[in-house]
Chains A and B, each alone.
Chain A
Amino acid sequence: MDALFSSLLGNVDWYEIWLATLDTLLMLGGSLLFTIILGLPLGVLLFLTGPRQLFENGPLYSFLSFVVNVLRSLPFIILLIVMIPFTVLVTGTSLGVAGAIPPLVVGAAPFFARLVETALREVDRGIIEATQAMGATTRQIIFNALLPEARPGIIAAVTVTAITLVSYTAMAGVVGAGGLGDLAIRFGYQRFQTDVMVVTVVLLLVLVQVLQSVGDKLVTHFSRK
């Protein structure tokens, strides 16, 4: 059994795999954190300045919407390369986990912001009206009514974004970011080590499955409908 195992997965260096997995998780965690920090306010702003909303502002909404669309239509692999000077400016390096996070955030935050905007639009207008009628400030309407009511939708948005980030981290391997995707390309593809390829793909798959089921559980937990 052992012999069979080692002959099948002969090229797999489990320590390398472990390090690559850690890198992927770090990139994912770091970029998800900053994506939420930047994307959530952007999504709220998109919602509030949108047509017939509390702070309806045509020009600002069009501008934000345009920026979001441009960033979303740029293929991530291009964004990775275009961002290198900026990344070096922010983190001092374009390599490794630190070098991957800025392009990951810039790639994912606009996407997340759109999902947040959509989740907020799902909140019944009547609830905003009722909160206004209680004498709430706009700030109170956002934090005490809009965000709590949209929480299941926002958690679903975080889940989808996290999974998108997993595939982005795999691509970031191209510019020397490390992680499972990098391992798959350098060993699995360029050195024809199919066993390494299979192991990394299985690990990425497991990661996505875990993220999705945790996300679904949280959405169910916070849905009171």
Chain B
Amino acid sequence: MIEFQQVHKTYRVAGRGTAREVPALKPTELTIGAGEVFGLIGHSGAGKSTLLRLINRLEDPSGGRILVNGEDVTALDANGLRRFRQRVGMIFQHFNLLMSKTVADNVAMPLRLAGNHSRSEIDSRVAALLDRVGLKDQARKYPAQLSGGQKQRVGIARALATEPDILLCDEATSALDPQTTASVLQLLAEINAELKLTIVLITHEMDVIRRVCDRVAVMDGGEIVEQGPVTEVFLHPKHPTTQRFVLEDEAVDEGEQHDDFAHVPGRILRLTFQGEATYKPLLGTVARETGVDFSILSGRIDRIKDTPYGQLTLALVGGDMGAALAQLDAADVHVEVLR
């Protein structure tokens, strides 16, 4: 669907006397499948924003090829690029709505610019889109009269106006409060499911990735340092940057994540359940059959998009420790012995 082949980007920064070349994106290979929600996570300056803007060529690559549905978009001329952009929607952190136009006129804008739709066609499409994002009654208002969440819904309706195959989301929820973030992400997930639209989103919050993405790439210093299915990357992070992101996400709920439990007696294990295993009464069974006692030191049971998961840090004491570890190992659970 979207394929990066050795794509790289360097900026020329005018310095004192000489111009410096700053690499924003090192040569990158990346494939994003049709219909998936693909997340790019990284701190500011990691190159994620550049990568996103290369897809619809708001930035031109310094080298490499970008294929979208097999078409080389780096080779498009001005006219071809315009037509290509009409098939790629984009939403922004600060919404970027036109303050001088009503909500309905903002949503109609991509259709008017494309110039191949009749007035009645535009009106009915705008009404349907506003209805879909839950803003049917706000059509005649101006963006300044709306809340942040409503503005982003207008942004989404506008991005979908030309029925694109791809939706690019540039930190779309970073300016919103947690509750509004949740509802906007919910809307994106629904749209992805309904329209089979490919969504590429960038964020610096692991929580956003966990809620909506199928696959994720972690960026640091202008390159992708880790990528894979969100369940894999989130539950078993390998690169230090990824581990930091996961920790940051958990720290919201658990202040004691950095605790090494020095004062707790017994063996300390971390169990990671995923999918159906999350619901099995594994701990009780093991405790009963091997005589070990367990106490839960920290834990989290949640969902990664539609997959339930659990991650528990346990202390085990007494009983047949060897048999307990063997039973856990044999079960459908990932076990790490921390101590």
Chain A residues within CB distance 8 Å of chain B: 124, 126-127, 129-137, 140, 144-145, 148-149, 151, 222, 224-225
Q: Is the interface of B mostly helix, strand, loop or mixed?
A: mixed
Q: Could you tell me which residues of chain B, from 131 to 161, have a CB within 8 Å of some CB in chain A?
A: 142-144
Does B330 make an interface contact (CB < 8 A)? no
Interface of A is mostly: helix
CB distance from B249 to the nearest CB of A (A): 28
A145 to B113, CA, bound (A): 11
- Contact with A135, one of B92, B94, B110 (Cβ below 8 angstroms): B110
CB-CB under 8 A from A130, the residues of chain B are 90, 92, 96-97
Question: Which residues of chain B (57-112) have a CB below 8 Å from chain A?
Answer: 58, 81-86, 88, 90, 92, 94, 96-101, 109-110, 112
Q: Sample 30 A-B pairs with CB under 8 A, ordered by A number.
A: A124-B96, A126-B94, A126-B96, A127-B97, A129-B92, A129-B96, A130-B90, A130-B92, A131-B113, A133-B58, A134-B85, A134-B86, A134-B110, A134-B162, A135-B82, A135-B84, A135-B86, A135-B110, A136-B82, A144-B113, A145-B98, A148-B98, A148-B101, A149-B98, A151-B100, A222-B100, A224-B99, A224-B100, A224-B142, A224-B143
CB-based contact A132/B58 at 8 Å: yes
> Are A136 and B113 in contact, with the CB atoms below 8 A?
yes
Shortest Cβ-Cβ A-B pairs, 7 listed: A135-B85, A130-B96, A126-B96, A135-B86, A224-B142, A135-B82, A133-B90
List the count of A-B residue pairs having beta carbons below 8 Å apart.
64
Please indicate the chain A residues that have their CB under 8 angstroms from the CB of B198 in the complex: none
Task: Please tell me if the beta carbons of A224 and B144 are within 8 angstroms of each other in the complex.
Answer: yes
Q: Does A134 lie within 8 Å of B58, measured CB to CB?
A: no
What residues of A have a CB within 8 angstroms of the CB of B313 in the complex? none
Name the CB-closest residue of A to B115: A140
Chain B neighbourhood of A134, CB < 8 A: 85-86, 109-110, 113, 162
- In the complex, given contacts A126-B94, A134-B162, A225-B144, what are 14 additional A-B residue pairs having Cβ atoms less than 8 angstroms apart? A129-B92, A130-B96, A130-B97, A133-B56, A133-B90, A134-B85, A134-B86, A135-B82, A144-B113, A148-B100, A149-B98, A149-B100, A224-B142, A224-B143
Q: Does B114 contact A (CB under 8 A)?
A: yes
Which residues of chain B from 153 to 187 have a CB within 8 Å of any chain A CB?
162, 168
Q: How far is the CB of B314 from chain A (nearest CB, A)?
A: 48
Q: Is the CB of A149 within 8 A of B99?
A: yes
* Chain A residue, CB-CB nearest to B94: A126
Please measure, in the bound complex, the distance between the C-alpha atom of A136 and the C-alpha atom of B113, giving whole angstroms: 6
